[in-house]
């Protein structure tokens, strides 16, 4: 396996699970500098190696940021300000131990689109990867990842301006779907706050 520091320095765009004959569950890493790197370890193992390198606890991170976005299952992973990954479903698992979610560095995500009833994530270097979830669900995952990035930056003392590309996602014109989704999320927060205040009385 390539040195983990070399992989990170190549700038990771996406981390994808795949099955390779005679090797089993493996991981394809798309980078900005070296295009594709194949590692014959599961995506879970590779994420653990990343976490070890950045000295973070994945379980604690998922719990902490999961509470912020109101999600307990598939939570975006912030390793540092330049490596915040949004989880998106990229394959159907063959067995229960297979990883079905890939992790996409939000710094390199340009758009999420739908074409011929298929959903794609568009990345830098003119890359387009099909994902196996609805467009609204995928866009919500991206919004959640941006919220996690903002929270990470505030928690670690990094300003939004220092965080490259932070405003990129929010400078795009909002679609009707974005506004409707935001309204629903605000209503959910309002209901939770009302329940919390009534229970404390």
Q: Are residues 9 and 99 in the same domain?
A: yes
One domain, residues 18 and 93 = yes
Rounded distance between C-alpha atoms, residue 99 and residue 85, angstroms: 15
Q: Does residue 106 sit in the same domain as residue 182?
A: no
pLDDT over 90 at 112, yes or no? yes
Mean pLDDT (whole number) for 91-113: 87
Confidence band, pLDDT 50/70/90 cuts, at residue 177 = low
Short-list 113, 143, 144, 146, CA closest to 130: 113
Q: Are residues 186 and 135 in the same domain?
A: no
Same domain, 132 and 193: no
pTM of the model: 0.77
Domain count, the chain: 2
Query: What is d(CA 176, CA 135) in angstroms, rounded to the nearest whole number?
Result: 13
Both 40 and 133 in a single domain?
yes
Query: Residue 171 pLDDT > 50, yes or no?
Result: no
Same domain, 52 and 90: yes
Please indicate, yes or no, whether residues 17 and 62 belong to a single structural domain of this protein: yes
> Which residues span the domain enclosing 18?
4-170
Residue 32 has pLDDT above 60, yes or no: yes
Same domain assignment for residues 95 and 16:
yes
What is the average pLDDT across 92-115? 87
Give me the pLDDT at residue 70, please.
Answer: 93
Task: Give residue 168's pLDDT.
Answer: 47
Specify whether 17 is located in the same domain as 43.
yes
- Answer yes or no: do 190 and 132 share one domain: no
Do 30 and 100 fall into the same domain? yes
């Amino acid at each position: 396996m390539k040195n983990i520091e070399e992989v990170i320095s190549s700038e990771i765009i996406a981390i994808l699970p795949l099955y390779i004959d005679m090797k089993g569950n493996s991981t394809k890493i798309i980078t900005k500098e070296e295009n594709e790197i194949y590692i014959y370890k599961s995506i879970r193992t590779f994420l653990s190696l990343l976490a070890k390198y950045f000295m973070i606890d994945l379980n604690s991170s998922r719990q902490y940021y999961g509470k912020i976005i109101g999600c307990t299952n598939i939570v975006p992973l912030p390793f540092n300000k330049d490596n915040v990954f949004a989880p998106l479903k990229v394959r159907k698992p063959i067995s229960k131990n297979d990883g079905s979610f890939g992790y996409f560095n939000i710094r390199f995500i340009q758009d999420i689109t739908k074409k011929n009833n298929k959903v794609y994530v568009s990345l830098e270097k003119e890359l387009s990867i099909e994902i196996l979830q609805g467009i609204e669900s995928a866009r919500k995952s991206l919004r959640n990842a941006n919220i996690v990035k903002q929270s990470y930056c505030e928690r670690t003392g990094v300003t939004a301006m220092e965080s490259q590309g932070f405003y990129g996602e929010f400078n795009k014109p909002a679609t009707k779907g974005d506004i409707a989704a935001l309204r629903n999320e605000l209503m959910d927060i309002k209901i939770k706050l009302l329940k919390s205040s009534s229970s404390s009385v």
